[in-house]
Amino acid sequence: MDNLHTAAATDKSNTEFPPLKKIPYHIGIIMDGNGRWAKRRGLPRTMGHRAGAENLRTVIESAVDFGVKILTIYAFSTENWKRPKREIKGLMGLFHYYFDHELGELAKNGVQLRHLGHMNGMSPSIQKKITRAVEKTAENNRLILNVAFNYGGRAEIVHAIQRIVAENIPPEAITEELVSRYLYTAGQPDPDLIIRTSGEVRTSNFLTWQGAYAEYYITPVLWPDFNKAELYKALQSFNQRKRRFGGLIDEEELEES
Ligand code: FPP
């Protein structure tokens, strides 16, 4: 499914950015480079994560301004548990702080928060905060913010298979659509664009199923420096792509370009 919509990419707050023809409905972001950002400044890695968390507000607001409807952020992967205890503790502290201090503002701005990932393995207090945040913002509809936390793309698929088997669904009824309904993103369209900051060219177990036909945008900019102008560059790059979904380019689209 092509989820592009041509809703005006400009409003009052966007006057410095020329309008774009297509705005991705759903964007995923691998927020990488916090550690290097801190290192370049002679700071501990935790300070990089803090700067990264602060930057989230800018990017969320920018995404809303540009007309994006779903933003999925990779906050903590199932593999991140391998990091030093001290760094994990710092990150968990940051998540607590974020839920305590940013949620009100997000909710006020019409952001609906959803969680992608396993609850098991997280501390009961984080679980409670996530559950409360999801409930509190459930009616909001300006932007869906999927927070991938304790998330792994392969684990998500395994979890879906386990549920499908547990429900005794016959093999012939197992289609791609059915599997999609058992993922954390059930009911949401797949991402159109996946952005990775800090220059690494890997997918890192992020939206493994959903990202099958996403366009990728890799930038050397480190996550704490990825601002509205950088997001606009990603959108510009997206506008230059000819999406084919395995088929042929639409003739009309070719004529227009
Ligand atoms: C990767 O940078 C980033 C992470 C593992 C965590 C992402 C977390 C945040 C942006 C902040 C907190 C988010 C929320 C929702 C409050 P890295 O440490 O791998 O950087 P490096 O590759 O330069 O070492």
Question: Is residue 11 over pLDDT 70?
Answer: no
Within 6 Å (CB) of ligand 1, which residues are found?
A: 31-36, 49, 52-53, 56, 75, 80, 94-95, 98, 147, 198, 223
Kindly report, residue by residue over 50-106, the tens digit of the pLDDT: 999 999 999 999 999 999 999 999 999 999 999 999 999 999 999 999 999 999 999
Q: Count how many Cα atoms sit within 13 Å of the Cα of residue 203 in the half-sphere of its side chain.
A: 17
Place of tokens 């177990």: 205
Kindly report, residue by residue over 20-54, the tens digit of the pLDDT: 999 999 999 999 999 999 999 999 999 999 999 99
Question: Is residue 8 over pLDDT 50?
Answer: no
Whole-number percent of the chain with pLDDT over 90: 88
pLDDT of residue 55: 98
Q: What is the largest CA-CA distance in the chain?
A: 57
Residue ID of nearest Cα to ligand 1 atom 11: 53
Pocket test for ligand 1, best of 37, 49, 87 (most atoms within 8 A of CB): 49
| 3-state class percentages of the chain: helix first, strand second, coil last, to nearest 5 | 45, 15, 40
Residue 239 CB burial class (10 angstroms; 0-12, 13-18, ≥19): middle
Q: For the CA atoms of the chain, what is the radius of gyration?
A: 19
pLDDT of residue 247: 83
Q: In one letter, which amino acid is 64?
A: V
pLDDT of residue 14: 74
pLDDT of residue 7: 40
The token duo for 184 is: 């954390």
Domains of the chain, first to last: 4-12+21-154+191-256 (3.40.1180.10)
The 3-state DSSP class for residue 42 equals coil
Residue ID of nearest Cα to ligand 1 atom 8: 75
What H or E segment, with its residue span, contains residue 62?
A: helix 45-66
| Catalytic site positions | 32, 80
Whole-angstrom Cα distance, residue 133 to residue 6?
Answer: 31
Kindly report, residue by residue over 101-153, the tens digit of the pLDDT: 999 999 999 999 999 999 999 999 999 999 999 999 999 999 999 999 999 99
Residue ID of nearest Cα to ligand 1 atom 12: 53
DSSP structural state of residue 131 = H
Whole-angstrom Cα distance, residue 246 to residue 82?
Answer: 37
